[in-house]
Amino acid sequence: MTPETLAVLLEPLFPNTKITKLHLLAGGASKEAWLLDLEQNGQTLELIMRRAGGGAMNLEQLTLEQEFRVLEAAFAAGVTVPKPMAYLPNVLGREAFISERVRGEAVGRRVVSRPEFAPARAELPKRMAEELAKIHAVDTSSLEFLPNSGGVTGAKRSIARLYAELDNVNEPHPTIELALNWLSTHEPTSHGETLVHGDFRIGNLMLSQTNLTAVLDWEFAHLGDPAEDLAWTLIRAWRFGQDHLHLGGISELEPYLSRYNTLTNQNITLQTLHYWEIMGNVKWAVAALTQAKRHLDGLERSVELAVLGRLSAEMELEILYLLEANHAATS
Amino acid sequence: MQPRPNNPELATAVREFLETEIMPTITDARLKFRTLVAMNALSMLERSGLEEGFLQAEALALAGLLETDVKTMNSRVALDTEVLRLNTLLSSQIRSGVVPSGSVEVLRQIATNKLRVASPNYLKRYET
């Protein structure tokens, strides 16, 4: 794509501007990210354009139009997100949207380990709780397309989905069966149905050296139990090697959980987080197997996806570790 | 009989080629990452010699949980078939709500052995 072809499409949305930079940052089967600079009255607008890729989408992934609308609702509710600027239904045959480009660092391994982010890490537990509290209060009445729990609790719906995805993998996985059996018989009190970001974790949070600057990657947003969102960042895969720090490799759980409960007037317990942490690991294990199957079925040939099938044993070991920790705690 | 290199040795040769001759020429970060993933896949094949012993142990442990006998496992194909049969049996038993006592311990040993082939460094994360 050249600046000239894009300029024609942008003219009605951003009049009297000139494209000064345009290049592909990351491309994938499902999505591309383009860096885009526009000059307007001597000022530069620093933007990102997300555009659909040519390949098959993941199940339950929102379309870019839907993701853009969720981003608008979150922005309006004061969630710290890149400002959504424009939705483009047809950029050379594929949909796209443009948002503000937020500066900072999002790469998980750097966020949890580099000394220069220590001040941001100190703020993060509290800031993550505040962002989740805002996300879970977003008015979803205009977001009628969001997948919901269909009249059952978020936990029951997650379990049903995971069984369906596991059956689709078409291999026996007794550890995952064991975990789904445990999740079915140990469901905690539901905390209602709210907007759930769906991928809220270190790696999808943009940081400056002192603070959180954006909550990114909204494509898995849905309606569900807010505890699901709260526990996703706990899972070992998202601690980026700092395994002893349960909250995303950056801190203990206490400051995060108590700040969230205070802000939302909820009473989500450590036991409930433990339940959803096991659910998260099962979800990640089944996702890894599903990704390997996408490769094997030829939907998206990729050595990365192929290797994920083997790496599902990491999540299995973690699930068994958590189930045993739970047994030790309750017996 | 194939002359050497055997399968793991062949995987080592390709991994070393990627590491010493291809990696230094790559400047694109994304491509670099994918090459590391490809090298990791080859290292799994290099460790695949461990698998047969692990599969034997898996069959015996699963049969013990299920209180059933193991079928003949006198060839690699028969071994693979038997391990698949026992995993399928245990999975459907758990799906029907019957969880044999001792499942967590047996499954943990099996997962650990899988990781000795697929991701031995991951196991170190449980040592502290």
Dihedrals phi, psi of B75, to nearest 5 degrees: -145, 165
What pLDDT does residue A116 have?
A: 97
**Minimum distance, in Å, between the CA of residue B4 and any CA atom of chain A:** 26
Higher pLDDT, B91 or A40: B91
**Residue A305 vs residues A58, A136, A192, A200, A291: alpha-carbon distances, Å:** 12, 32, 34, 22, 5
Mean pLDDT of chain A: 94
**Minimum distance, in Å, between the CA of residue B108 and any CA atom of chain A:** 6
What pLDDT does residue A25 have?
A: 87
CA atoms of B107 and A289, how far apart (whole Å): 18
Q: Tell me which residue in B41, B87, B108 faces A317 most closely, judged by beta carbons.
A: B108
Instruction: Say yes or no to pLDDT of A2 above 60.
Output: yes
CA atoms of A146 and A116, how far apart (whole Å): 38
Confidence class for position B72, pLDDT limits 50, 70, 90: confident
Higher pLDDT, B128 or A242: A242
Q: Which two tokens stand for residue A148?
A: 């919901």
Q: Is the pTM of this model over 0.90?
A: yes
Confidence class for position A182, pLDDT limits 50, 70, 90: very high
Confidence class for position A30, pLDDT limits 50, 70, 90: confident
Higher pLDDT, A54 or B69: B69
What pLDDT does residue B127 have?
A: 86
Provide mean pLDDT across the span B62-83: 95
Structural contact between residues A253 and A247, judged by C-beta atoms closer than 8 angstroms: yes
Provide mean pLDDT across the span A255-273: 97
Which DSSP letter does residue A44 get? E
Q: Provide, rounded to the nearest whole percent, the portion of chain A with pLDDT above 70.
A: 96
Contact B95 A181 (CB under 8 A): yes
Side-chain-side CA neighbours of residue A292 (13 Å): 18
What pLDDT does residue A331 have?
A: 41
What pLDDT does residue A37 have?
A: 96
Answer whether B38 touches A (CB < 8 Å). yes
Torsion of the alpha carbons at A118, A124, A125 and A127, rounded to the nearest 10: 150
Structural contact between residues A18 and A26, judged by C-beta atoms closer than 8 angstroms: no
State the residue for tokens 């703020």: A123
What pLDDT does residue B70 have?
A: 93
Contact B119 A320 (CB under 8 A): no
